[in-house]
Chains A and B, each alone.
Chain A
């Protein structure tokens, strides 16, 4: 009897995960036109405790996206425009000298914009490497250490960074080690004709349609926990691991295309990304375990920024997406005995 209720409990959990996710996505779509898969991927990253790097030209609604996300989740949202003269202290915060009534001087830590839930780091490639590193460290550790004191950030903490692909002058492209810290890199394309039309309609009204709060902090944390609990069968794990190894040209699993065009493959963080995103996908599909198909669906956003192309690939304009498609095609799905 108890077991029965436990089972239906699980079902309910999964069902509510799905419902909440879909509601979140739909609510954001009230404001944002199009970009359904970008929205879904951003939400997936949020559920996987990962951070997202968006690549796209200005003016397509990235700020709007993050702000709306904050609104539907009732989370604090901050935006930082990265510039060439931005200092780490401008992000993390500084120690200020304060004087109390007795005249004693002490240091008081003034918190920087990083002390929020959702942080939009706009044009992160404009800032100096030191500033970039400061942000990325906070992103990784979910904590900030200033003047020897460590301050922990509130959960859920989610960074959405953007890169401007056009103006590359005076920018510091993120090095591989930093790129690796983002679970997804999403290419945000320019809207299509219908979408532009709709954008005009929506933005030339006086006010945006109001969005409801769909979930709160506790819900997000619950959902995150559920994601971690999704089981993976050994053959799916094996498939995901072999896919990651296939991205490295020196591995036995590498395809011919990888050997020809790839300088360096994904780190184990890529596997982490594949598995976590796969778990979210499984739950969204109403299933209780990850399948190989889930891994295939999340491969492109997870790996496209983790594969470093060599000169030949750049010359022949072979994209990392093409390499990933090739790997998915050629890596076999097998099931060994245990």
Chain B
């Protein structure tokens, strides 16, 4: 039994912790070297097909490096080192370390002896739980970031993007469903909107859906997708409808009703963002006029529009183009997250006449069919988008088939002179000049929204 036994005991208890943190340090250090080549190789793999053997090399190197460094680190952990760590942590001014050294070197006379005894005395009073040994190695922050980056690259950004996109398309489908919902804070309601749809369990019909999907080629450029495909889609929906069981149909109907709890009236109550007083008045007038019409029974419920007010788009922003047409991709454009899924309003030239004709589309007319079919369509869209099947159609297609083109202006009123300029600028800002009034003509936006 050596004189410094109490010190050795304390050291022994702490050594495990020290070894652990040394391993962490070795891990980070090995990773620091193996991550960059791994990253490079993964990126390369996206462009050129890299054989698996080479891809595995950094991993192998990491294992080797970690083993070597770890072994070295562990071997380097000696009792003096651990004692020094304890001394520094507990403010003991090298008492424990010196005591161990003096004993090892057999300095046992006079002051050295007293030093050993003092060290032992202090060791006896130590509570090893007070000793915190761990410190993150240098650059471990960077290491973690780099590791995550490598992981991202390895897994593939598309997979990750679509993973995140799934949640978005739910929101979109719901919006398309709701139509002209004023949804100033779209992201927030999204989670709640999803829940009703989720009640629909994947059952037999969906296997048919799956089959459908696999028939389709996975990568389709939406811009060149022809309209016949969308036609197929509709037919499929027709077929599927009959494949649904009664309870499922009921569920779907209920779900739809839930979604539509908020009637048009409610929607109008929601305050639109940042409206200048004059505009607000104008648009409220419009809304009220509509309401009256519906109440009077003059218009179909579907004709009712909600007032989605958008402020002029910041310069350079894209208009809410095809994206807004309930496609499988992200909802809302860059320009504010209103749930407005209408197409860009027509640009009406006003040659001196004080008449402003506001036309709008009713997004509820996407399907001229029943609510149920609409629901199914939404569901289909949602699920398809989750499976990364590029099923977006251009607004052109969907419009052409599903939307009756309103020919009459919604409102015919005289526009005060002062307002005219503003409104003109407003619509200009949204999509640039139009040369024709063809509804199917699209503005400059051509890029597909989602991949």
Contacts and interface: CB of A to CB of B under 8 A. Distances in A.
B111 A335 contact: no
B272 to A, nearest CB: 60
Given A234-B101, A287-B95, A336 B80 contact: yes
A288 interface: yes
A166 interface: no
A11 interface: yes
Contacts of B98: 231, 233, 236, 289-291
B281 interface: no
Contact of B94 (A10, A11, A229, A292): A292
B114 A10 contact: yes
A136 to B, nearest CB: 33
Contacts of B93: 285, 287, 291, 293-294
Nearest to B82: A335
Interface string B107-124: 100111111011000000
A293 B113 contact: no
A338 B94 CA distance: 16
Given A234-B101, A337-B80, A288 B111 contact: yes
A334 interface: yes
A288 B111 CA distance: 6
A334 B81 contact: yes
Q: In the complex, which of the residues A231, A289, A333, A338 has the most CB atoms of chain B within 10 Å of its own CB atom?
A: A289
Given A7-B113, A229-B111, A288-B118, A234 B105 contact: yes
A11 B114 contact: yes
Interface string A214-247: 0000000000000001110111100000000000
A13 to B, nearest CB: 8
A152 B8 CA distance: 51
B80 to A, nearest CB: 4
Contacts of B88: 333
A293 B91 CA distance: 10
A136 B112 CA distance: 35
Contacts of B84: 235, 333-335
Given A287-B93, A289-B94, A233 B114 contact: no
The interface centre, meaning the residue of B93, B98, B110, B112 with most chain A CB atoms within 10 A of its CB, is B98
Contact of A291 (B83, B94, B117): B94
Nearest to A237: B101
B80 A289 contact: no
Interface in B69-99: 78, 80-81, 83-84, 88, 93-95, 97-98
A53 interface: no
Contact of A231 (B80, B111, B117): B111
A290 to B, nearest CB: 8
B21 interface: no
A93 B81 CA distance: 56
Contacts of B47: none
Q: Nearest 7 CB-CB pairs, A to B?
A: A291-B94, A288-B115, A233-B98, A335-B80, A291-B93, A289-B115, A335-B84
Given A285-B93, A335-B84, 5 more contacts: A229-B110, A235-B80, A235-B94, A287-B93, A337-B80
Interface of A: 6-7, 10-11, 14, 229-231, 233-236, 285, 287-294, 333-338
24 contacts: A10-B111, A10-B114, A14-B114, A231-B107, A231-B115, A233-B97, A234-B101, A234-B105, A236-B94, A236-B98, A287-B115, A288-B111, A288-B112, A289-B94, A289-B98, A289-B112, A289-B115, A291-B93, A333-B84, A333-B88, A335-B81, A335-B97, A337-B78, A337-B80
